[in-house]
């Protein structure tokens, strides 16, 4: 029983600490956010929590412009993740890193690998938008158009729909050049 209570307390600590780190990120206090994350002992956490810490940490690295460190960290961790949803989230994060490094083929490959295992919601919508954008950058216009038109058939909030429509406009502009 005490082990279960300890686990619940640790998970609550991680959740609170992650929220604190995210609030520091919003205020652009990236080093403070990293220090907050360092207080979490990831060795004793369930994979779900370890991956959440890793995602926040790599997002900070990207914000600080040390994308290579984020990429390296993710590449070292992903092969050991068994859960397909967690692995998909980490591959999506890795795709963001590759995109920032202008390695669009690798980014697209990671998005393609992960997109079907992401949980429904904002993350999946963002991954679809990124897939469309990467396909345009790689001049894969027909694929970008198919994905974008299918994507627009979903029930989307106005912001997401506008992003998709902007990508479609960019696609048609690039296609004409």
Q: How confident is the model at residue 7 (pLDDT cuts 50, 70, 90)?
A: low
- What tens digit of pLDDT does each residue of 116-163 get? 999 999 999 999 999 999 999 999 999 999 999 999 999 999 999 999
Rounded Cα distance between 61 and 30, Å, is: 8
Task: Look up the pTM and report it.
Answer: 0.88
Phi/psi class of residue 156: alpha, beta or left (left: φ > 0; alpha: ψ in -120 to 50)?
beta
In the chain, the N- to C-terminal Cα span, in Å, equals 67
**Summary mean pLDDT of the chain:** 92
pLDDT average, residue stretch 79-95 = 95
């Amino acid at each position: 029983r005490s082990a279960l209570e300890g686990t619940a307390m640790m998970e609550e600590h991680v959740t609170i600490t992650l929220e604190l780190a995210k609030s520091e990120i919003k205020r652009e206090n990236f080093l403070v956010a990293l220090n907050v994350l360092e207080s979490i002992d990831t060795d004793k956490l369930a994979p779900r929590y370890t991956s959440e810490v890793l995602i926040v940490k790599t997002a900070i690295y990207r914000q600080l412009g040390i994308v290579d460190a984020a990429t390296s960290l993710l590449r070292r961790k992903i092969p050991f993740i068994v859960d397909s949803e967690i692995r998909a989230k980490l591959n999506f994060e890795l795709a963001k890193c590759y995109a920032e490094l202008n390695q669009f083929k690798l980014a697209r490959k990671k998005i393609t690998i992960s997109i079907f295992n992401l949980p429904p919601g904002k993350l999946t919508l963002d991954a679809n938008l990124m897939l469309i954008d990467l396909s345009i950058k790689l001049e894969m216009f027909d694929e970008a158009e198919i994905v974008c038109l299918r994507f627009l058939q979903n029930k989307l909030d106005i912001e997401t729909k506008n992003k998709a429509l902007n990508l479609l406009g960019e696609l048609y502009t690039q296609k004409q050049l």
